[in-house]
Amino acid sequence: MTENGLIRCQNLWKVYGADVGALRGLTPDAARARIAASEGWLTALGDVTLEVARGEVFVIMGLSGSGKSTLVRCMTGLAAPTLGDLMIDGVNLRGIDPALLIEMRRHKISMVFQDFALLPHLNVRDNIAFPLRVQGIPRARREELADRLIQTVGLGGRATHFPKELSGGQQQRVGIARSLITEPEIWFLDEPFSALDPLIRDEMQGELLRLQASLQKTIVFITHDFDEAIRIADRIAIMHNGRVVQIDTPERLVLAPADDYVAAFTRKIPRARVLRVASVQAPASERAAGAPVSAAALVGDVAARVLASETPIPVADGAGRIVGSLDRRTVIETVFSGASA
């Protein structure tokens, strides 16, 4: 743990049951022993420690019941942690004053859920502007900001449409715009695309990446879909039975799973879509010829070119220096057999 994380969880527990208040004041070791000995308590989160850096897309994933949504509910103040500390930009949410929590929700954090939760009697502009209406912002100002976001999320020309006149993807864009209108620093998204058709879901993932490239928010994204996670994540936390099993980049989760659960979770993921050239490249070779490929490129993105070459292809780092080579055999092993070099 560092002091620079915008979100920091330290030994966080969420336990349900009678008399769980008895845990407060115990040392961490004593609390763990008391929880382990209890037969009537349900541990939704167990000893979670993690941090999310500013500007990071941090994905939390796991199967149903793994604790991922409970963790986000704690991070947003919708559920109170039983034990441990949960810091948002230096403010501890455990025991936070309700008025301060409301202020944080209005200005620092925002949430998007699977349920679009649009108000059916309001048009697109008024749905997006609704959080500012709650804050008492003058109508002209909130409509100005809403119209700007309508263009940002690709809903130009639909400002006066009502939710029933929109597709599922368009409704989700309204929800995203509404969550951004208060200009939050932290953006929580709890399986926001899981109810959408596959093609629309793919489109919305691309829209999220486009928005992040320009807005540079700190994003905590919940999903159970590893394909979705590897597309958008800087780092991924995999949860199981209320505990964080591993936190790493998508590439490292595939190359170095922490245990059998993570290995099973990632086993069916095509490695060419996760592994970067730097992970499988060979040393620089005098036989390598042609324009170099980037060491940061995904193997799948350069596979066709390497397979079409009779000689290895040079690999260059971000400064243009030749740092290795990539040949057909390595690509074939990575793409088709799932083996890494």
Cα gap 215→67, rounded to integer Å: 29
When pLDDT is cut at 50, 70 and 90, the band that residue 339 belongs to is: very low
pLDDT at 336 over 80: no
User: Can you give the length of the chain in residues?
Assistant: 341
Assess if residue 209 is contained within a domain.
yes
Assess if residue 237 is contained within a domain.
yes
* Rounded average pLDDT over 76-105: 90
Return the percentage of the chain with pLDDT > 90, whole number.
57
When pLDDT is cut at 50, 70 and 90, the band that residue 270 belongs to is: confident
Q: What is the DSSP string of 292-331?
A: PEETTSBHHHHHHHHHT-SS-EEEE-TTS-EEEEE-HHHH
Domain end: 230, 248, 266, which one? Answer: 266
Assess if residue 11 is contained within a domain.
no
- Give me the number of domains the chain comprises: 2
CA 224 to chain centre: 11
Domain end: 211, 232, 266, which one? Answer: 266
Strands 313-316 and 293-294: parallel
Sign of CA dihedral 52, 55, 60, 61: negative
Cα gap 300→317, rounded to integer Å: 18
pTM value?
A: 0.85
pLDDT at 95 over 50: yes
Backbone angles phi, psi at 295, to 5 degrees: -65, -25
pLDDT at site 237: 97
Condensed to tens digits (0 to 9), the pLDDT of residues 162-201 reads: 999 998 889 989 999 999 998 899 999 988 888 788 888 8
The one-letter code for the residue type at 98 is: P
* Sequence-distant (≥ 6) Cβ neighbours of residue 103 within 8 angstroms: none
312 and 184 in a single domain? The answer is: no
Strands 186-190 and 42-52: unpaired
Backbone angles phi, psi at 109, to 5 degrees: -125, 155
Only one residue has tokens 């993932």, namely 205
Structural domain boundaries enclosing 280: 271-337
Condensed to tens digits (0 to 9), the pLDDT of residues 128-170 reads: 999 999 889 999 999 999 999 999 888 999 999 999 999 888 9
pLDDT at 308 over 70: yes
